[in-house]
Amino acid sequence: MRKKVADEITISRDGFLFIKEVRKLNNLVFREKRLINRLDHDPLIFLTAHCQGELAGFKIGYAQSPRIFYSAKGATSPLYRRQGVATKLLFEMMREAAAMGFTELHYDTFPAIYPGMVVLGLRHGYKFKKMHWNPEYNDFQLRLGRALR
């Protein structure tokens, strides 16, 4: 498999147009059919990342409160890992949430399962907001957040 270049990645806000591909990637990465509990949140940001017409990743988020936007789920195709796709998706979600008037962006992750999401957040100014043990995942569930400037 050839390596993909981050500069070739385009981010789009029309995730519902690619729902079939997103569901496939979600199943591949998370081994589950459910994207998030509901896709009818208002507002909802549903981003996709593509490289040369191929789905490279997605990110879905919604308002958690009048000031906090919550990134509920995201994934990067194994073909595009460690090439800036997750960073581009995160920064685009931050930009769009800030444009809607939100002042913070939060997300949850499981460090034993997805250590890269902890590193990504800390690298870009996210701080730990809370932590608890999640027996379903047999891991700590960490909430990270940062101000949107």
pLDDT for position 99: 98
Q: What is the pLDDT of residues 119-142, one digit of tens each?
A: 999 999 999 999 999 998 899 999
**Tens of pLDDT, residues 9-51:** 999 998 898 999 999 999 999 999 999 988 899 999 999 999 9
Checking if the pLDDT of 5 tops 50, the result is yes
Structural domain boundaries of the chain? 6-147
Q: How many CB atoms lie within 10 A of CB 46?
A: 23
Tokens of 119: 């590193």
Q: How far apart are CA 35 and CA 72, in angstroms?
A: 9
Per-residue pLDDT of 63-118, as tens digits, reads 999 999 999 999 999 999 989 999 999 999 999 999 999 999 999 999 999 898 99
Residue linked to tokens 């460690």: 82
What pLDDT score was predicted for residue 37?
Answer: 87
Q: How far is Cα 63 from Cα 143, in angstroms, rounded to an integer? A: 15
Question: For residue 4, what pLDDT is reported?
Answer: 46
User: What pLDDT score was predicted for residue 89?
Assistant: 97
Q: What is the reported pTM? A: 0.90
35's tokens: 């994207």
Nearest to 75 by CA among 6, 120, 25: 25
Domain 6-147: which topology?
Answer: Aminopeptidase (3.40.630)
